[in-house]
A and B are shown apart, each in its own frame.
Chain A
């Protein structure tokens, strides 16, 4: 152990402590670090600090453009968090990072206090209990509505178990439940590609529900829906709140008003403001980014 190495180690330690301190100041929960050195309790998600998702100082840039810039954000279990922000604020990129599609250049992303999401692939993250709805509705167009939902069910997802798969009574129950929730009982055998845009959105949400995820990331879930469908979606989300944690990215302010408690405003890849919708809307900085340009 040479003096230089000692020196470098000390510097790294210092940097890490500074970062943790910063995270503590930036996020509501005081950061994940307060969970250090506690014994892990079983296989369930460690929510002892009242937070299900932590993003700490995450940065990512594409060809020099900083899509996410030192973003810190955390979310409580059972919360329904709305994310708004102008185009290019990094909302979709943030979801890409959480679901493993994009690797950040720096920063940490934790699910509960103990699961480092950056160590997992997309399918693993999905199996851990994070479901994601895409901006453009993405369903299996050539399969029936029912087959779409069945594929998404929570179960063992290896090749051999798929070859042997037989639906259990419990799984049938769950499918019926979801079908009722998304109102597609009568279109059970219909090819998913033939559904209307709004119905496809609902089917995709239904597929997420079948996965039974603890955290749902929903990218513009009501885009292209009629007012009536939007209203029903709002009801659905309010019903899910509490049992599941939801993170909703939307542009439809009426929809956000209907469902939101806490709203986070992203701008240029980091958090600009956070709080109840009325407070955020009154914030001069928010007004500036939405209207000033």
Chain B
């Protein structure tokens, strides 16, 4: 005979070991990394090179994208092939602010960004009006991708567009946006995009300490986003998402309207991608329409699949593995990278449906 005490309670946010690992990552990225990069001399074996800081900082942005992708694909079963758009929108919102921060230091010594001078524009177009304000930028970075996702998602989900059709439409969406941003008339710098940034909030960006500050900020955002995602998937909301993935009709006949649930997680996912894009631009120093190319969005899905869908740690691991391999292979064997990526995706789809993390879990389970 079982009683109420036997019923499972709410899962803890993280287990004790989980918290230990989380704080270890926090200490590693936010204390040890700055120490080894800024205070240990370049001659020492313990010195962390600027190249490594830049690489890990960039990959952490990608990992945030993969985490966002996991919420919508891994947990809700909706494969988006347009997340590059949200990443780029966040990046462009940040990029506009950084362009304005250049001030009079551009090549043409004009108050307008260089590309506007080049196009012979006399004043800022309307959509640049808020770009002088850091506060407005910090609001726009999450807001713009979220709004675009909300509007698009509302019509797509209300029309009950599902599966591969949804994926194709998102792919088309990001492609269309790329073509739009490529045009000079759109006012986003055409195919060159934005680059040559000088300052952020008046502070020069090209200093080691500023780079490290952005690195630490990215690490914090990633770690906190992980906790947020964990909180979401542990709640009943998260279980409804998985239920939608497994049997949407049963969800409806259980009295849940899937529209609100899908829209909420879709919008949140886009928002996280936008934040990742903004952090990326500050560290990499360039944003252009190629970020919206269909291949980029597909890559986000590949990281997620390689790491392991529907495990939150998986996509982060996947982003590090694939991008680590990419930065090595594109130097060592530049012509093989795309073949490798394609082969990786096929192997993972065929033999590792749970990804690397799933494989490790299974190995652990068999050993135990």
Is A132 a contact of B253 with CB atoms below 8 Å? Answer: yes
Residue from the list B240, B247, B249 in contact with A162, Cβ < 8 A: B240
Cβ of B4 within 8 Å of any chain A Cβ, yes or no, is: yes
| Segment at the interface with A among B50-58, B256-264, B326-334, B360-368 | B256-264
Cβ of A1 within 8 Å of any chain B Cβ, yes or no, is: no
Cβ of A46 within 8 Å of any chain B Cβ, yes or no, is: no
CB-CB under 8 A from B7, the residues of chain A are 146, 167, 172, 175-176, 188
With A151-B243, A175-B7, A188-B7 already in contact, the answer to whether A162 and B253 are too (CB < 8 A) is no
CB-CB under 8 A from A150, the residues of chain B are 236, 239
A151 to B235, CA, bound (A): 11
- Nearest B-chain residue to A156, judged by Cβ: B255
Is A134 a contact of B249 with CB atoms below 8 Å? Answer: yes
| Segment at the interface with B among A31-39, A60-68, A135-143, A226-234 | A135-143
With A146-B8, A159-B264, A165-B235 already in contact, the answer to whether A139 and B253 are too (CB < 8 A) is no
With A162-B235, A185-B2, A188-B2 already in contact, the answer to whether A126 and B243 are too (CB < 8 A) is no
Contact count band on B: 20 to 34
Cβ of A147 within 8 Å of any chain B Cβ, yes or no, is: yes
Is A162 a contact of B10 with CB atoms below 8 Å? Answer: no
0/1 interface trace, chain B 137-178, chain A, CB 8 Å (1 if under)? 000000000000000000000000000000000000000000
- Tell me the smallest distance from the CB of A279 to a CB of chain B, in Å: 33
- Nearest B-chain residue to A146, judged by Cβ: B8
A138 to B251, CA, bound (A): 10
Indicate the member of A162, A167, A204 with the most B CB atoms within 10 Å: A162
Residue from the list A142, A152, A188 in contact with B254, Cβ < 8 A: A152
A121 to B251, CA, bound (A): 13
A101 to B239, CA, bound (A): 24
- Tell me the smallest distance from the CB of A206 to a CB of chain B, in Å: 12
Cβ of B183 within 8 Å of any chain A Cβ, yes or no, is: no
Is A123 a contact of B249 with CB atoms below 8 Å? Answer: no
- Tell me the smallest distance from the CB of A123 to a CB of chain B, in Å: 4
Residue from the list B6, B246, B250, B257 in contact with A134, Cβ < 8 A: B250
A195 to B346, CA, bound (A): 31
CB-CB under 8 A from A152, the residues of chain B are 254
Is B246 a contact of A188 with CB atoms below 8 Å? Answer: no
- Tell me the smallest distance from the CB of B158 to a CB of chain A, in Å: 11
**Interfacial residues of chain B within 31-71, with CB under 8 A of chain A in the complex:** none
Cβ of B347 within 8 Å of any chain A Cβ, yes or no, is: no
CB-CB under 8 A from B240, the residues of chain A are 151, 162
With A140-B243, A188-B2, A189-B8 already in contact, the answer to whether A159 and B261 are too (CB < 8 A) is yes
**Interfacial residues of chain A within 106-142, with CB under 8 A of chain B in the complex:** 121-124, 126-127, 131-132, 134, 138-142
A113 to B363, CA, bound (A): 60
- Give the total number of A-B pairs whose CB atoms are below 8 A apart: 104
CB-CB under 8 A from A123, the residues of chain B are 252-253, 255-258
With A122-B252, A188-B2, A188-B8 already in contact, the answer to whether A147 and B247 are too (CB < 8 A) is no
Is A138 a contact of B247 with CB atoms below 8 Å? Answer: yes
With A146-B8, A175-B7 already in contact, the answer to whether A99 and B2 are too (CB < 8 A) is no
Is A172 a contact of B239 with CB atoms below 8 Å? Answer: no
- Tell me the smallest distance from the CB of A251 to a CB of chain B, in Å: 22
- Nearest B-chain residue to A126, judged by Cβ: B255
Residue from the list A126, A139, A151 in contact with B252, Cβ < 8 A: A126
Cβ of A293 within 8 Å of any chain B Cβ, yes or no, is: no
Cβ of B242 within 8 Å of any chain A Cβ, yes or no, is: yes
Cβ of A207 within 8 Å of any chain B Cβ, yes or no, is: yes
CB-CB under 8 A from B245, the residues of chain A are 142
With A139-B247, A143-B243, A162-B235 already in contact, the answer to whether A169 and B4 are too (CB < 8 A) is yes
Is B254 a contact of A126 with CB atoms below 8 Å? Answer: yes
A127 to B255, CA, bound (A): 5
A162 to B238, CA, bound (A): 8
15 inter-chain pairs at a CB distance below 8 angstroms, sorted by A residue, are A123-B258, A124-B257, A140-B247, A141-B246, A143-B242, A151-B256, A157-B254, A158-B260, A162-B235, A163-B236, A172-B4, A176-B7, A188-B6, A188-B8, A207-B250
